[in-house]
Amino acid sequence: MPLPEYTGPLGVKRAAHLLRRATFGATRQDIDNFAALTPAQAIAQLFRQTLPDPAPPVDPATNTEWVTTGVTNANSSDEELQEYFKRWFIGQMLAVGVAPSQALAWSAREKMVFFLHTHFTAIQSKINSSRALYFQNQLFRLFALDAMNADPEVNFKTLTKKISVDNAMLRLLDGNLNVKGQPNENYARELLELYSIGRGLEGALPPGTGEGDYVVYREEDVREAARVLSGWEFDEDFSTIDPDTNLPRGRVRGSVNNASAHDNGPKVFSDRFGNATIQPDPALLNGGNPTEASALDEISQLIEMIYAQPETARHICRKIYRFFVFAPHDPVSANAIESSVISEMADVFVSSGYKIQPVVENLLRSQHFYEAAAGLGDDNFGAIIKSPLDLVTGTLRFMNVPIPDMSSPSQFYEVTGMIVDQINNMGMSFYEPFDVSGYDAYCQYPVYHRSWITVNYLTRRYDFIRSLVNITEPGMLKVQAVDFFTSTFPNATIADARSLVIELARYILPVTDNLTFDPDLDDNATITAERMNYFLRAFLSDIYPPGTEEANWTSNWNTQSNMDTVRGQLENLLNAMMQSPEYQLA
């Protein structure tokens, strides 16, 4: 059954929490608008708008797109085009050029697309094709909001079938090398271990019965799945079009009527799958020979068999939970969530016909997501360390940093390229995870998102904020502190130093109940009075006689005097709060 839902108005704290997790960032005005909504109303605004597909990326060398029409000698090198694709994707996350009324919904859809990218991994250097990267990204976008499509076949299970013959995936995991008589097991292994049934609850697996037993599947299942998946190759021309998605896919080796590299024999699976047998449908064969249709049908049989196992739904729902809510770091926590949350999510997943959107929507409406149920704390607030991607995009969105749109491709790519550089610099090699498991933070038990923080990476996060808000620091991405505060907060709030620190904290920090500067009133349940006074001291600095700092700030702001000093103080406030450990949390 679905998770119990929270039904009251969100308020600022919960609205900010939702928008941090479900989008790539929001302004103060966005948060205020959502604060008046219930979760159901908020989720409808984020996930139930009809959105167009984004316009394809443009090559500055030709000032036209290349992904659908193909590459000519006039185009940039494909290495450059791959970089343009990544920067284009960043632009979609930030909803660059999108009407304000659709910007948050656009960003929410792209968050779903990014989740699918973290699940079905891509490694740019291995795939080495801008068009393959783009079409895989479009495939994810087609399935990201699957509940918006009335077709029951538009679901996560179908996406798993489509990704199995996707050009980028064929090249990433050597599916293009998997042929009859010389099976390559790479994709079959990762399909089972990573992308579908998984290997059970992390940290709580019972022992297998022997070598090659992975508890929910066996080594022989990898071998047989590889035989099912044999006989496909990367389509260099991108001319093989999937009739369901209208997107290019891999090409069957041989011909449509004679898939000569496909293993046509029966495939017998282990007792973990009830000793099921997959074999070609005689009606789809051509004189006994495999065809493209029979090979695709076998893949469909394989995925149907895998998804019939209850563990598949649980594995996928665990990944959804870790992405949007929290990653349990020990077996006790994992088991507690398994019985109280993951099982309900899996029920929604199965009952929806394996559509992912209803699962995510129910989770983001749930009492559990907001920890609003009676007797529960608020541990989900600030429970995830922001990825470098979320840190950078969320900061830029909150501070309304302008990003050029695609009407000037060179300027757009220059700025989004800087964003990619910042993300890479903080330890998230965008589209270049270390291995086919994907970015460690989303898959590596028990560290998960804690892997984002090392001494070096934390320093680089702080350097990003310093470069962004200090006018004297080098860098093109800049916030004009005075303009930002003037456009974001009421004048009376800015003029009162303590009110300004509290208001900024409410919107950018995750746990902000009962904020006070008085230690005697501090309940220690949120940001402490000691921390609040640290932010206040960093803001007011030591330029005024002791005891006059707040009055001098108010006077300078109200009279717009000593504006260089005012600017410096506002930069100090942003640096203190956005370089804090608290700001690294979502």
pLDDT values of the chain reduced to their tens digit, one per residue, 586 residues: 899 999 999 999 999 999 999 999 999 999 999 999 999 999 999 999 999 999 999 999 999 999 999 999 999 999 999 999 999 999 999 999 999 999 999 999 999 999 999 999 999 999 999 999 999 999 999 999 999 999 999 999 999 999 999 999 999 999 999 999 999 999 999 999 999 999 999 888 888 888 999 999 999 999 999 999 999 999 999 999 999 999 999 999 999 999 999 999 999 999 999 999 999 999 999 999 999 999 999 999 999 999 999 999 999 999 999 999 999 888 888 898 998 899 999 999 999 999 999 999 999 999 999 984 444 444 689 999 999 999 999 999 999 999 999 999 999 999 999 999 999 999 999 999 999 999 999 999 999 999 999 999 999 999 999 999 999 988 889 999 999 999 999 999 999 999 999 999 999 999 999 999 999 998 877 899 999 999 999 999 878 889 999 999 999 999 999 999 999 999 999 999 999 999 999 9
Token pair of 521, please?
């009133």
| Tokens matching residue 438 | 């994907």
Q: 258: which 2 tokens?
A: 């004679």
Separation CA 578–CA 572 (nearest Å): 10
Q: How far is CA 447 from CA 114, 245, 329, in A?
A: 21, 37, 6
Is residue 476 within 8 Å of 492, Cβ to Cβ?
no
Contact at 8 Å (CB) between 568 and 574?
no
How far is 437 from 119, CA to CA, in rounded Å?
A: 8
Residue whose token pair is 């282990």? 270
DSSP per-residue letters across 556-574: HHHHT-SHHHHHHHHHHHH
Amino acid at residue number 181: G
pLDDT at 379: 65
The encoded tokens of residue 186 equal: 């790479």
Report residue 326 CA to chain centroid gap: 13
C-beta neighbour count of 259 within 10 angstroms: 27
Q: Give the pLDDT confidence score for residue 139 in this predicted structure.
A: 98
Residue 369 half-sphere exposure toward CB, CA atoms < 13 A: 35
Q: Cα–chain-centroid distance for residue 296?
A: 29
Own/partner pairs, 31-39, CB within 8 angstroms, 24+ separation: 31/507, 34/10, 35/9, 35/10, 35/11, 36/9, 36/10, 37/9, 37/10, 38/6, 38/7, 38/8, 38/9, 38/10, 39/5, 39/6, 39/7, 39/10, 39/14, 39/364, 39/365, 39/366, 39/369, 39/370
Alpha helix (H) residue ranges in 489-562: 491-495, 497-508, 529-540, 549-559
Provide the H-helix boundaries in 366-469. 367-370, 388-398, 409-425, 455-469
- Residues 14, 369: Cα–Cα separation, whole Å: 9
Q: Peptide bond before 409: cis, by omega within 30 degrees of 0? A: no
Buried b / exposed e over 55-64, threshold 16 CB at 10 Å, is ebbbbbbeee
Q: What's the chain's Rg over C-alpha atoms? A: 26
Q: What is the pLDDT of residue 210?
A: 87
SS3 call for 400: coil
Rounded to a whole number, what is the largest CA-CA distance in the chain? 95
* pLDDT (0 to 100) of residue 375: 43
> Do 252 and 178 meet the contact criterion of CB atoms below 8 Å apart?
no
> pLDDT value at position 358?
98
User: So where are the chain's domains?
Assistant: 388-584
Asked if 386 and 394 count as a contact pair (C-beta separation under 8 A), the reply is yes
Closest CA to 506 of 12, 1, 2: 12
For residues 258 and 294, what is the distance between their CA atoms, to the nearest angstrom?
10
497-508 and 11-22 helices cross at what angle (nearest 10)?
Answer: 40
489 within 8 A of 561, measured Cβ to Cβ: no
What DSSP character marks residue 58? E
